Amino acid sequence: MLGRNARRTRGGRIAHVEPGSIGDEIGAEPGDLLVSINGHPLRDMIDYQFYGAEEELTLQILRGGRLHRIQVEREYDESLGLVFAEPLFDGLRQCSNRCPFCFVAQMPRGMRKTLYVRDDDYRLSFLHGSFVTLTNLQEDDWQRIGEQNLSPLYVSVHATDLHVRRALLGNGRAGDIVRQIERLGHMNIRVHTQVVLLPEQNDGPILRQTVLALLEQWPTVQTLAIVPVGLTRYRGNDQRTLKPAEAAAVLDLARELAGTIHGRTGCTWLYPSDEMYLLAGQDVPPAEHYDDRAQSENGVGLVRDLLDDWAYTKNDIKPGLFAGLRVTLVCGELIAPILQSLAGEMSEITGARLTVLPVQNRFFGATVTVSGLLTGADVLAALRSRPAGDMVCLPKAMLDETGERTLDDMSIGSLAESLGVPVEAVSSLGEIVDLLYSLGA
């Protein structure tokens, strides 16, 4: 191991070293900075994975102001065992657009700090599936995407008409998205796309044009999801949400084009989000409609998962098994009718008393009806004047990635303490059944 003084250096801050791994064997420690691999400076986890794929590696690690060079030999499928504090080592690429419907701009004060970040970083699109606009890419970014084969990417299109897209992004310099997608296709990069739909702006003929233009880009464009715009009471403009008839028109368009789309792609390809079906008051499609579920994080197919999970779960429950137990199921107003129907059937079979509590979103406003944007304060307010039962179940979607904290930074533990009953996060009725087993034990 060689050492020399090191000054200002960038790299990946190590948060954890897997026991018994190569990193453990070479003495890497939490707090160390992995600076380079085989002479390549590391900008992010992508560089770490790309340059770390060789069997012979030279690592440069900074510790205590000194830079150490370490030779490593590894099997082709053997990991270095290093876990980093952040996926990006050189900072987040933030959004330069000014979309009039930007949800970050509709956030009030006092929320978690991460909710105020305007993320538009193509690297997180590749690593985590977050949607980006491609409006802030420099030429070296394009070169890197091709060189490192950063596929698939997730792209917010909104409209293929350049004038309309620039207006929706609040960016008069945004490039032609169709040409950008064509360029990605020439590099063999696949993309999943989305349209956030605003009434009287990118719906109707503009939406049809967008769908058909993106369909022409198959197989580069692997999927297209259509999601209704979400607006809070803090929006500060005259935007509005979709009406049921407008959501129904989107579903009509999807059905009209289904034959053409399937003939070209061999799959559904075009996916209105679950929210479209619920808003229009129409049944969600069967499971086979959703193909490989590439758009599930966009709220596509989750209601079908909920329905099918219960259809499978209920066959294995002994009738009357949980008689006497009382459970409150918290949800947003949009999903409440479906959940009430399922909970009624579950109560009848199990003997437990399941009460669905649709919570009005007072924090963000009445236009926000999805479960994922409920706050702890609104849940407490809704339960304050009624019995919570033996257990309260929250939708997992309203919690952070750890499954522990709400949007207004309340913990599940603090909610349970305030309510005086156990509080659990769930995503299906099957999970509730498992909890009832433990509650009745």
Q: Do residue 332 and residue 227 come from a single domain?
A: no
Backbone angles phi, psi at 300, to 5 degrees: -110, 115
The Cα–Cα gap between 234 and 111 comes to: 13
**pLDDT for res 5:** 41
Beta bridge partners of 296: none
Report whether pLDDT(117) > 80: no
Q: Which residues contact 208 (CB under 8 A, 6 or more apart)?
A: 253
Q: Which residues contact 355 (CB under 8 A, 6 or more apart)?
A: 326, 327, 328, 329, 343, 389
Report whether pLDDT(4) > 80: no
**CB-based contact 278:336 (threshold 8 Å):** no
- The reply to whether 96 falls in a domain is no
The Cα–Cα gap between 186 and 104 comes to: 33
Mean of pLDDT values over 218-246: 90
Query: Which tens digit of pLDDT belongs to each residue from 118-146?
Result: 789 999 999 999 999 999 999 999 999 99
Q: Do residue 291 and residue 353 come from a single domain?
A: no
Query: Which tens digit of pLDDT belongs to each residue from 358-400?
Result: 999 999 998 899 999 999 999 999 998 888 899 999 999 999 8
Looking up tokens 């669905």 gives 356
Region for residue 294 given its phi and psi (left: phi exceeds 0; alpha: psi -120 to 50; beta: otherwise): alpha
The Cα–Cα gap between 24 and 19 comes to: 6
Name the 3-class secondary structure at 297.
Answer: helix
Query: Which tens digit of pLDDT belongs to each residue from 265-316?
Result: 999 999 999 999 999 999 999 999 999 999 999 999 999 999 999 999 999 8
Q: 112: exposed, middle or buried (C-beta count within 10 Å: 0-12, 13-18, 19+)?
A: middle
Mean of pLDDT values over 94-117: 76
Q: Do residue 255 and residue 157 come from a single domain?
A: yes
- The reply to whether 90 falls in a domain is no
Number of domains in the chain: 3
The sign of the CA dihedral 278, 280, 286, 291 is: negative
- The reply to whether 93 falls in a domain is no
Q: Do residue 291 and residue 343 come from a single domain?
A: no
Looking up tokens 């065992």 gives 81
Looking up tokens 């939708």 gives 395
- The reply to whether 95 falls in a domain is no
Report whether pLDDT(7) > 80: no
Looking up tokens 């040409």 gives 179
**pLDDT for res 403:** 86
Q: Do residue 63 and residue 113 come from a single domain?
A: no
**pLDDT for res 290:** 96
Q: Do residue 217 and residue 279 come from a single domain?
A: yes
Cis previous bond, 395, omega within 30:
no
- The reply to whether 48 falls in a domain is yes
The sign of the CA dihedral 366, 372, 378, 384 is: positive
Percent pLDDT > 90 in the chain is 80
Q: Do residue 58 and residue 122 come from a single domain?
A: no
The structure's pTM equals: 0.91
**pLDDT for res 2:** 38
- The reply to whether 98 falls in a domain is no
Q: Within 13 Å and on the Cβ side, how many CA atoms surround 126?
A: 22
Give the CATH number, domain containing residue 210: 3.80.30
**pLDDT for res 103:** 78
Q: Do residue 110 and residue 246 come from a single domain?
A: yes
Residue that terminates a domain, selected from 299, 320, 336: 299
The sign of the CA dihedral 395, 400, 403, 406 is: negative
Report whether pLDDT(111) > 80: no
Average pLDDT, the chain: 92
- The reply to whether 372 falls in a domain is yes
Report whether pLDDT(3) > 50: no
Q: Where are the alpha helices (DSSP H) in 62-203?
A: 122-128, 139-147, 162-169, 177-186
Beta bridge partners of 57: 72
Q: Do residue 58 and residue 125 come from a single domain?
A: no
- The reply to whether 99 falls in a domain is no
Q: Do residue 212 and residue 263 come from a single domain?
A: yes
**pLDDT for res 12:** 96
Who has greater pLDDT, 10 or 263?
263
Q: Do residue 289 and residue 328 come from a single domain?
A: no
Residue that terminates a domain, selected from 250, 267, 299: 299
**pLDDT for res 45:** 97
For 286, the domain range is 104-299
Give the CATH number, domain containing residue 40: 2.30.42.10
Residue that terminates a domain, selected from 299, 321, 342: 299
Q: Do residue 116 and residue 237 come from a single domain?
A: yes
Give the CATH number, domain containing residue 348: 3.40.50
**pLDDT for res 139:** 97
Looking up tokens 């349970």 gives 416
